[in-house]
Amino acid sequence: MAELLRSLQDSQLVARFQRRCGLFPAPDEGPRENGAGPAEGATGTPGAGNLPAVTRKGGGEPASGLQRAAAPQVHTQKYIVKNYFYYYLFRFSALLGQEVFFITFLPFTHWNIDPYLSRRLIIIWVLVMYVGQMAKDILKWPRPLSPPVVKLEKRVIAEYGMPSTHAMAATAISFSLLISTKDRYEYPFALGLAVAVVFSTLVCLSRLYTGMHTVLDVVGGVLMTALLIAFTYPAWTLIDCLDSASPLFPVCVVIVPFFLCYNYPVSDYYSPTRADTTTILAAGAGVTLGFWINHFFQLVSEPTSSLPVIQNIPPLTKGMFVLCLSKFIVGIVLILLVRQLVQNLSLQVLYSWFKVVARNKEARRRLEIEVPYKFVTYTSVGICATTFVPMLHRFLGLL
């Protein structure tokens, strides 16, 4: 078993996949310069911008056992693209696994499709992402080595690799959506299953193509998600009812996630993992709190508790498309305004409280500042998305 794990964690396996898909490192031509992108001699130059890579101190493989983490050193790296179909396919698939996609997709589901589905998807997404992010900083397994792997992303290089939270999120959202809709809407189940498999597979393969994860990271993420869905599925109906269980429910919704964020596992060096985890938990807390507000104060009508089967899903017409787009734009604009306002106010209060110079951007990384300001900001965003945006839609006649 240990030999199998080592083989799946081998960076050469990722490099071979990249080469088969037409992605090669450019020959070393001396010192690298900032802004290096795809090398000359490829069939063209994609608009990829600065796409740096990473090496570990020492640059070699560990002497024995599975790879252990070391602080990454970031440098720019030239590369050659020989197959632009795979390049754009997997770059786009990688975007579908980003948090920003799900943070956009989930409100869209709430505003334009079904609040029942969005509630379930958000709860599962938050649970899966928290487990995955926490596992990274507990296991502390590094990302693939470069060389031989070509790295196409920069922001998450400082994070550890195991498990792939992109793979976890894509698998959780696609299959939770499939499970939640099979008894609510009438559609060919085989088609829905195929879409879920294709979506999650593309995101998983994109993590190998971009050089961000080993095969073991991706497989581990998928398996962890499958186990979490299997273990929590019997309680999904109960979880749906928790937001109306008690007037004290909002206290638990706020205190428990904040405690988990503040006691997040300490990393050997700073990475955006804790900040991203706080954002996800806070957004989940805000959304859950927003659903409780809607139910407790009867502000926004909710669908009935039964799960009706819709015999004929209405086709997408031009009028429906314009309506959905209008609701989405109105909602996103309001959310961005709330996010900016609350973030600025919370940072000013925390800077003043801890006597920190506002121009010191490094201060945002301090535990006592980063966790509270992100938690307050994205809890407000979650409440806004589920309560105030639907109220604004009703006021504007968009419902």
- Give catalytic residues, as residue numbers: 166, 213
List the one residue out of 338, 290, 336 whose CA is nearest residue 346: 338
| CA–CA separation, 277 and 159 (whole Å) | 12
Separation between Cα atoms, residue 350 and residue 262, nearest integer Å: 15
**Residue 24 β-bridge partners:** 80
Instruction: Tell me how crowded residue 207 is: count the other CB atoms within 10 A of its CB.
Output: 29
- Give the CA distances from residue 269 to residues 4, 116, 266, 277, in Å, rounded to whole numbers and listed in that order: 29, 40, 8, 16
Burial state string for 357-374 with b = 16 or more CB within 10 A and e = fewer than 16: eeeeeebeeeeebbbbbb
> DSSP class of residue 266?
P
- The 3-state DSSP class for residue 80 equals strand
C-alpha distances in Å from residue 61, one per residue of 9, 58, 143, 283, 369: 11, 9, 12, 39, 37
Cβ neighbors of 361 (< 8 A, separation 6 or more) are: none
Rounded (5°) CA angle 264-109-246: 60
Q: Which residues of 285-305 are buried (b: 16+ CB within 10 A; e: fewer)?
A: bbbbbbbbbbbeeeebeeeee
Cα separation, 244 vs 208, whole angstroms: 42
Query: CB–CB of 278/375 below 8 Å?
Result: yes
Cα-Cα end-to-end distance for the chain:
56
With CA atoms as reference, report the closest residue to 205 among 221, 191, 190.
Answer: 221
